[in-house]
Structure 1
Amino acid sequence: AYKLFQVLPEAHRLREHLTYYTSGVHLAGVNRTQAVWTQEQMRDFGLTDVNIVEYFPYLNYPREQRVAIVEPEPLLFDADLREPIVDEDSTSHLQRDIPPAFHGFSASGNVTGRLVYANYGRPQDFARLRALGVNMTDTIVLVRYGQVFRGLKVREAQEHGAVGVLIYSDPADDGAARGAVYPDGPWRPPGSVQRGSVQFLSDYPGDPLTPGVPAHRDAERLAREDVTNLPKIPSIPLSYTNALPLLRALSGHGPSALQAGSDWEGAGAHSDAGADPGVTYSVGPSEARVNLVNRMEGRITPIWNVVARIEGWAEPDRAVIVGNHRDAWVFGAADPGSGSAVLLETARSLGILLRAGWRPRRTIYLCSWDAEEYGLIGSTEWVEDHLAWLQREAVAYINVDNVVMGHHFVAFASPSLNPLIYQVTKDVALGGTSGSVYDQWVNDAPKKHQAETESAVGGADPIINADNDPPARHLPPVVHPLGSGSDFTAFLQHAGIAAMDFSFVGYGGTYHSAYDSRHWMEKFVDPHYHYHRAATGVLGGIALQLADASLLPLNLTTYADALKGYLAAVTFHDQVRRFTDKSGANCEKAVAQVAAVSDETDLELSKKKKKDKKKHDAEKKLAQCLRRRHQFNDQLGFFEQQFIAVAGIPSRPWYKHLVFAPGLNTGYASQPLPVLTESVE
């Protein structure tokens, strides 16, 4: 089945799937039709057990937005908060359907204040402003996208006394400074807006009103004012075009960007691609006063997950789960349409195998999540709803999201999955090239990641470069640790299920904008759907290996080596070092014991029956081997749960994994050994 699957995905089918998913706006909670269509498609493909699972989280939607300079009179300005039509992109003409620039979960408010520029809005940026004597109380803070999750920018501004936040896209980060902008190139044009959620993701994801429990219709809910992971001040995203008058209004007021730091200047100050003579990135406060109006309508509203189940023939009570979210801020060709198309083509290809008589050894679930963009809500509520069952039966979760947004393969995973990722990517051909996904991955791997690989992957076999004489030994490409930002979060960090996510990256210039369209995808990223097809091969290949292998292809030695690297990467105080040295040694010892059991079991299963054995002895031996294999598979499949602390991480108890969590002050990036790292920080 594994080899046959690789020839089944078809480019024209993937294009058909993507065409449907990008044909209209599909915000979370407002497009049940798309959920029903996804369900019907899976049933047409031969998957008979496909259901829509409904939850009732709190979401909010924009009703009125305004950003304006209201004084002094020479600087008066009203932002349009819309993205211009691109003539050649048909979906950009659907202006009535395209939502205005807004942040999911932003607070409502009508505030006016002087402007302060805070660079990327990181904790160190606000610390620098304090050191420069900048008073942020009652100001509106202007920050640019990048470096940390947008919600944490709002949190920092709120904690420093600001009354509102404006987040804009600077050409230095994903626009003209990177290359030609859309529609002439793949990068963000100056009129483009990055929407997104401002939930404090590193506190907890999912429905803000029901942390830790599923958001059923009759669930007990927190009052909005008691929620800890939502902002209390309003925020709005801006295009660079709309941010320019604000940046000009700051020029000459307060410390300069150069006084603040070497990375505080954006493209407006020094790049020919985005330079503006009136922009100096002064930090303020400005003389100008800015009015920010953000009226949001919040409500408890249904969302719809689509869940397909293919029952296993030998181990139906062990599950491999594959997921992708379906909702988008606008049209979502890359995010998440590419992943949705790949998930659907995986379902179609598995349907062909089913009709040919194949059944998976273990049960496979294919899940299309809703409301990921607001805060991983569909997947989180499903995990919270089925937590006990998942911890009894689920052996792995495979996630795809914006799986095609460039040409460079990247992977994030529990370390036990690393060897499987290497194996499958070697087996999947990459159309338009003469090699495999793995070949492209190795050739593209940045040299700066080689040291990371050594600590994270540890004992993985080196690659021999036969073109060099004498042969040069190279480390395999990096598989990064998982942080957050997509639907693997609840599976790994709340339930303790081995998880992974992968994608082809390179062009983030239309991320969360109206220009993340099929036209953009086919013009600049994947005109022949080679990368979509390769992504389907990787997704289905990994799922089939996990579902069909008699011994689960999870490697605990790789996990042990990764743990050593994480421990070595943290600089500890003396008293913390004494503790971690002991616990680290115990952990390595435990993993070594499991690895020894692995070797013993593998040897036992490979023994042939001896001819001089009696039949009943052979049957008895076989039964013992099968029991042993089942026990070993459970040790492998449930190993990740050994790192789950029921009480959770002290600073944020929803997150329960002691090895992996999102960075407390970054949101997306992984923070290995979070309790130890936070105690040091």
Structure 2
Amino acid sequence: MEKASRNVVILTIGAAFVGIGIGVIIGWFSRVPDPLPSWTSTVENQIKDLDESVIYRYFDNVQASSIRENLQYLSNEPHMATTEGDENLVKHIDALWKTQLDSSEIVSHEILLSFPSEDQENEPNVAEVYDDADQLTFATRTTEEVYNEYMAAPENIVPYYNAYAPAGDVTGQLVYANFGSESDFAFLADQGVELNGSIALTKYGRVGRGARTINGKKYGVAGVLVYSDPQEYALDGDTGYPDDFSLPSSGVQRGSAMSEYGDPSTPQYPSIKSAYRTPTDEITYFPVLPLQPIAYEDAEELIRRLNYNDTLVSEGWSTGLNGGELNVGPGFSDGGKIRLSVNNKLRYVTSQNVIGTIRGSTEPDDWVIYGNHRDSWVYGAVDPSSGTACMLETTAILQELLKYGWRPKRTIIFASWGAEEFGLIGSVEWAQEKEFLLLDRAVAYINVDIAVFANLSFFTRASPLLTTVIKAAAEEVEDPVDSTKSVFNSWMEYYPGPDSDTPYIGKLYSSSDYAYFYNALGITSADLSYRGNASEPRYQISPYPTYHTGYDTFDYMDRFLDPGFLAHETVCKVSGAIMLRLADSLIIPFDVMAMAKFVESQVLVTQNNYDAYFDEAKLRYLQEASDLLKANAMDMVNYIENELDRENVLDIAAVNNRLRRFEKSFIEPLGLPGQINNKHISGSNYGPEDGSFPSIAALLSGVSTASTEVKTTAEKQLAMITYRLLNAASILKMT
């Protein structure tokens, strides 16, 4: 009886547990699931292609008046890197992006910068003329004349200087040395001009800031002055801003004189807390002589005082100063000497990047990056705030698109870089810190620095991979001057390319924040702007008259470069369309055939120009690698257009993975000869640009007889390039 009762109890309890279990299972499967985050991937979203209407909704919202307001705010006070003005903009942009985007963060780095002495009364950067009795007869000015209310807070205008120029106090005879090239100094020496111990007066152009000190030191020069000659920075008949477009007589171009980019104390590594810092006296990227920029009104006084030398007429040296009469020296006609005092100080400071993010819906680990630097030398309306004004208009419009339910397939990252003017430092340090993530995730980098140099035509420097997407964007946007034409039509008119259907697309340089992304990491990049036509005198001033001076103001842009801000509006539309296509197209819109054809042209130049330096078999191997790259590119295009199953998520991912990694395979990790940041075998821009591969041209262009060492290095480069091209070809192979 007890046993039977026990069995009943056990069965009852068991039945209860079974009932509870069934109830739990039924409850689990019948529950209403929590809503998924809006960015969560679905198969439907994964196979969805770009909605063209999104681009046109973006266009409809771009307003020239909003961009103008942005620019007026951004350039209302001096904002050199790490100053109070710069920090104010950091807070402003971060606050905007926290409301407009999914997230925003401020990323800081401790970096080594160079500043004039804070004790300007006792330690100014100045050139002084003393007579034979050691009496001061002339001294150069230290900052611009203030003309109007657009030069607000003039007490915060940094005195004239070239960053990283070493401190020094030298006295000697003044000699005019044209642009300060090595050939200029050689010519003076050949003419018997005494250069040893001299101070060289040079004009901006053709030669880098720091390079002129290296050239001068070879000939015994003790210090270098540099100025902007009105022959290169003013139009005939102009008196200068604020009356007209040209550079006024007290305007001085500041700038970094460092020969590399990134924090000079942490080359090739990010400036994080654990970083090893190279001792400042071991850094080799700085100028080797005291160097100081001066106003052309002061340069004119110095030239007027110099001894006349008629040996330079045949060389074609000239000036827009002193009535065109170029006195060379050495020394002054009434005796005396010049003293150059440079009192720059190196200092570790905190620089900040602002990074805003819109998370991708289906491919959040693929990044499209849109960036520009924030810092300027003074007000920076043109450089860089014209680009930032466009970027802030873009993020404001995307905020509205997000409200209406749009979200890109891929993550879009917006970047406001710090300390670019000192050597692209903010972008380089961030890219170095994120290097492995970028190599894995970055799709492309879009740079809009100086958005508007002039209001005549669109212009771009870009990777060949972006040829098709840039053309498509330019064809979609109406020309701001002639509504019957597209931006593409005017671009083709003013910048015709080698092909009848493609305007000129320049090679990327190392002059803005795309440099490390492209040259060191192989991330497909573009730099976008509006410019003038180099055939007209107004547009032959490079890059524009008030570049890096206190006269780069909102008023200068508003009256002389882009009245009405229609060029700004156009750049904003074109750059936004490119960004949206890269971030939202089912297949990343890269033109692999354009890249293959570009490489093919480099191979042809190498064969034609440098065949004497290479074994015939090695050149044949190079040709075969190029042929394979082109064949695989054609196969890839055919596969995408005719064979790809656009409803198969895995097949789509396989194609996009190859496209995202393709240009990164052009990177030589060891760097090109003598270059720590130039690693792109096809795209890096250094040395002569003759159409060959960069490292081959740098080694052999203009060389009549190469040394054994140079020839061996060139042979190694050719072998490495061939190997990299084979790697690139293999990435495109679909089977």
Tell me if the contact between 2:492 and 2:504 (Cα under 8 Å) persists in the aligned partners.
no
Deviation at residue 319 of structure 1 after TM alignment = 0.8
- Return closer, same or farther for 1:124/1:569 CA change in 2, 3 Å cut-off: farther
1:276 is aligned to 323
Tell me if the contact between 1:113 and 1:290 (Cα under 8 Å) persists in the aligned partners.
yes
Write the mapping of 1:7-46 to structure 2, written as runs, cut at 5 A.
7-30=60-83, 31-44=86-99, 46=100
Among candidates 333, 348, 359, match of residue 381 of structure 2? 333
Deviation at residue 281 of structure 1 after TM alignment = 4.4
Separation of aligned partners in 1, 2:556 and 2:612 = 53
Tell me if the contact between 2:645 and 2:652 (Cα under 8 Å) persists in the aligned partners.
no
Deviation at residue 432 of structure 1 after TM alignment = 4.0
Query: Kindly, what percent of the aligned residue pairs are identical?
Result: 31
Separation of aligned partners in 2, 1:592 and 1:121 = 47
Amino acid at match of 1:323: G
Separation of aligned partners in 2, 1:321 and 1:22 = 24
Among candidates 68, 79, 82, match of residue 143 of structure 2? 82
Establish whether residue 62 from structure 1 lines up as the match of residue 116 from structure 2.
yes
Write the mapping of 1:503-514 to structure 2, written as runs, cut at 5 A.
503-506=529-532, 508-514=544-550
1:457 is aligned to none
Tell me if the contact between 1:256 and 1:282 (Cα under 8 Å) persists in the aligned partners.
no
In structure 2, stretches of 5+ residues that fail to align are 1-53, 118-123, 533-538, 702-735
Tell me if the contact between 1:92 and 1:515 (Cα under 8 Å) persists in the aligned partners.
yes
Deviation at residue 503 of structure 1 after TM alignment = 1.1
Amino acid at match of 1:276: G
What are the Cα deviations for residues 454-483 of structure 1, in whole angstroms up to 9, with x where unaligned?
A: 2xxxxx5x34xxxxxxxxxxxx32100111
Tell me if the contact between 1:11 and 1:529 (Cα under 8 Å) persists in the aligned partners.
yes
Among candidates 318, 322, 332, match of residue 265 of structure 1? 318
Deviation at residue 256 of structure 1 after TM alignment = 3.2
Aligned with 1:111: secondary structure?
Answer: strand
Establish whether residue 531 from structure 1 lines up as the match of residue 567 from structure 2.
yes
Amino acid at match of 1:213: Y
Separation of aligned partners in 2, 1:127 and 1:628 = 62
2:199 is aligned to 140
1:293 is aligned to 341
Separation of aligned partners in 1, 2:691 and 2:219 = 24
Amino acid at match of 1:486: S
- TM-score for both structures, normalised by structure 2: 0.81
**How many residue pairs are counted as aligned between the two chains?**
622
- Return closer, same or farther for 1:346/1:155 CA change in 2, 3 Å cut-off: farther
Separation of aligned partners in 2, 1:545 and 1:180 = 45
- TM-score for both structures, normalised by structure 1: 0.87
1:575 is aligned to 613
Amino acid at match of 2:676: P
Tell me if the contact between 1:23 and 1:91 (Cα under 8 Å) persists in the aligned partners.
yes
Separation of aligned partners in 2, 1:178 and 1:373 = 32
Deviation at residue 130 of structure 1 after TM alignment = 4.0
Deviation at residue 135 of structure 1 after TM alignment = 4.4
Deviation at residue 572 of structure 1 after TM alignment = 1.8
- Return closer, same or farther for 1:516/1:586 CA change in 2, 3 Å cut-off: same
Separation of aligned partners in 1, 2:61 and 2:107 = 29
Aligned with 1:365: secondary structure?
Answer: strand
Deviation at residue 301 of structure 1 after TM alignment = 0.4
Establish whether residue 397 from structure 1 lines up as the match of residue 397 from structure 2.
no
- Return closer, same or farther for 1:76/1:533 CA change in 2, 3 Å cut-off: same
Deviation at residue 317 of structure 1 after TM alignment = 1.2
Larger C-alpha radius of gyration, 1 or 2? 2
Tell me if the contact between 1:494 and 1:656 (Cα under 8 Å) persists in the aligned partners.
yes
Indicate the larger mover: 564-573 or 91-100. Answer: 564-573
Separation of aligned partners in 2, 1:51 and 1:495 = 23
Amino acid at match of 1:535: V
- Return closer, same or farther for 1:318/1:162 CA change in 2, 3 Å cut-off: same
Greater RCO, CA 8 A, separation 6+: 1
Among candidates 203, 208, 212, match of residue 264 of structure 2? 208
Among candidates 486, 491, 497, match of residue 517 of structure 2? 491
Tell me if the contact between 1:317 and 1:393 (Cα under 8 Å) persists in the aligned partners.
yes
Amino acid at match of 1:212: Q
- Return closer, same or farther for 1:49/1:413 CA change in 2, 3 Å cut-off: same
1:245 is aligned to 301
Tell me if the contact between 2:64 and 2:569 (Cα under 8 Å) persists in the aligned partners.
yes
Write the mapping of 1:33-182 to structure 2, written as runs, cut at 5 A.
33-44=88-99, 46-63=100-117, 64-72=124-132, 76-86=137-147, 89-92=148-151, 94-177=153-236, 181-182=240-241
Aligned with 1:374: secondary structure?
Answer: coil
Separation of aligned partners in 2, 1:56 and 1:159 = 35
Tell me if the contact between 2:77 and 2:151 (Cα under 8 Å) persists in the aligned partners.
no
Deviation at residue 514 of structure 1 after TM alignment = 0.8
Separation of aligned partners in 2, 1:573 and 1:154 = 36
1:587 is aligned to 626
Aligned with 2:240: secondary structure?
Answer: coil
Tell me if the contact between 2:600 and 2:626 (Cα under 8 Å) persists in the aligned partners.
no
- Return closer, same or farther for 1:217/1:232 CA change in 2, 3 Å cut-off: farther
